[in-house]
Amino acid sequence: MKRFLLALALVCSVAQAETWFEMRNQAGGKILLLMQKCSGSDGRMVIATTPEGTNVNGCWYYFADMVHIVWTDAGSTKTSTFDPKDFQMRERK
């Protein structure tokens, strides 16, 4: 948990478009926590992918030691909560 917080603080304090957090999702794709801010929100962008190429978008927030995602695609709003330990930091080198 402390590693996630430290990595999150470092990544968010430096504008670095080549760093993100990811985990596998139940659909066989990935959930990607990006560092870019959501438009009109304090959250940051999130994308969920599937092997079929479907993407779902939203905003993620770190609060109360959990990653909270508000999915906003297709005109409806759904929420998900994840343990930060489920995500791995990735960097494009």
Q: In the chain, what are the domain boundaries?
A: 2-91
The pTM assigned to this predicted structure is 0.78
> Percent of the chain beyond pLDDT 70?
81
Instruction: Give mean pLDDT, residues 12-21.
Output: 67
Residue 93: band (very low, low, confident or very high) from pLDDT cuts 50, 70, 90:
confident
Q: Is the pLDDT of residue 92 over 60?
A: yes
Residue 13's H or E segment, with its range, is helix 2-13
C-alpha torsion angle, residues 31, 37, 41, 46 (rounded to 10): -10
C-alpha torsion angle, residues 38, 17, 1, 72 (rounded to 10): 30
Q: Is the pLDDT of residue 20 over 60?
A: yes
- 43: tokens are 């959250």
